[in-house]
Amino acid sequence: IVLTQSPATLSLSPGERATLSCRASQSVSNFLAWYQQKPGQAPRLLIYDTSNRATGIPARFSGSGSGTDFTLTISNLEPEDVAVYYCQQRYNWPPRVTFGQGTRLVIK
Amino acid sequence: QVQLQESGPGLVKPSQTLSLTCIVSGVSVSSGSHYWNWIRQPAGKGLEWIGRIYTTGSTNYNPSLKSRVTIFLDRSKNQISLKVNSVTAADTALYFCARDLESAAGAFDYWGQGTQVTVS
């Protein structure tokens, strides 16, 4: 299953809302996760199974979608949100997991 | 608190075998209902899942790497290990170990900081 993320880069100002998209080449049901990766760090799980926030993730981060089209929304952007965001499916598990190519979020 | 710490040789020659370890603290790799995974990331690129091992020792691998990869548990040292045979420059990457959620296998909630491997 191929995951295609858009846009490749998103440039917004503090306080704005970011909408990141992830499209799957075939249905992944609701088995879609989102990760945030800051420079020099490991990815951090934000959302799993489309809309469940991981432990300690603020409510500014929310996920939605089903089947092949998914969205990560980040409200009230903060400078610390600068990162690359990856979607990831676990539907055809086993035998494999796949990630999208990432969306880079830039805060103006 | 669960912590994962990868380590490895840093530099490996082409055609040789890459060996990495991930020391786990705060939880036993032999208990619970978690899978322990290896994931890699070439510089400036995206993430690629390599494979996983369950607490029982059963494994699953990415089909694109399956013929060259082995993951195993060392219960006495509470660590997981990765071996990649016949490496090439394409295996140069930052290698992470990660644990998945008990309630959502395949979603990774704990990660190590990664260990860089260069094949040259």
pLDDT (tens digit, 0 to 9) for every residue of chain B, 120 residues total?
999 999 999 999 999 999 999 999 999 998 888 999 999 999 999 999 999 999 999 999 999 998 999 999 999 999 999 999 999 999 999 999 999 998 888 899 999 999 999 999
The predicted pLDDT at position B111 comes to 98
In angstroms, rounded to a whole number, what is the distance separating the alpha carbons of residues A66 and A89? Answer: 12
What average pLDDT does chain A have? 95
When CB atoms are compared, the residue of A43, A49, A54 closest to B47 is A43
The predicted pLDDT at position B103 comes to 83
A5-9, A64-68, B5-9, B104-108: the lowest-pLDDT one = B104-108
**Antiparallel, parallel or unpaired: β A18-24 and A69-74:** antiparallel
Contact at CB, B111 and A42, closer than 8 angstroms: yes
The predicted pLDDT at position A6 comes to 96
Cβ atoms of A51 and A106 closer than 8 Å: no
Q: Is the pLDDT of residue A93 over 80?
A: no
Contacts of A35 in chain B (CB under 8 A): 108
pLDDT band at A64 (very low <50, low <70, confident <90, very high): very high
Going by C-alpha positions, the residue among A92, A101, A82 that lies closest to residue A38 is A82
Report the amino acid identity of residue A51. S
The predicted pLDDT at position B75 comes to 92
DSSP state of B99: E
The predicted pLDDT at position B100 comes to 92
Measured between CB atoms, does A45 come within 8 Å of chain B? yes
The predicted pLDDT at position A94 comes to 66
Contacts of B109 in chain A (CB under 8 A): 45, 54-55
State residue B89 phi and psi, 5-degree precision: -60, -25
Longest dimension (CA), chain A: 41
In angstroms, rounded to a whole number, what is the distance separating the alpha carbons of residues A108 and A105? Answer: 10
Cβ atoms of A85 and A1 closer than 8 Å: no
**Tokens encoding A108:** 């103006």
Residue of B nearest to A54 (CA): B109
pLDDT band at A95 (very low <50, low <70, confident <90, very high): low
What does the pLDDT average to over A32-51?
96
What does the pLDDT average to over A72-79?
97
**Antiparallel, parallel or unpaired: β B115-119 and B11-12:** parallel
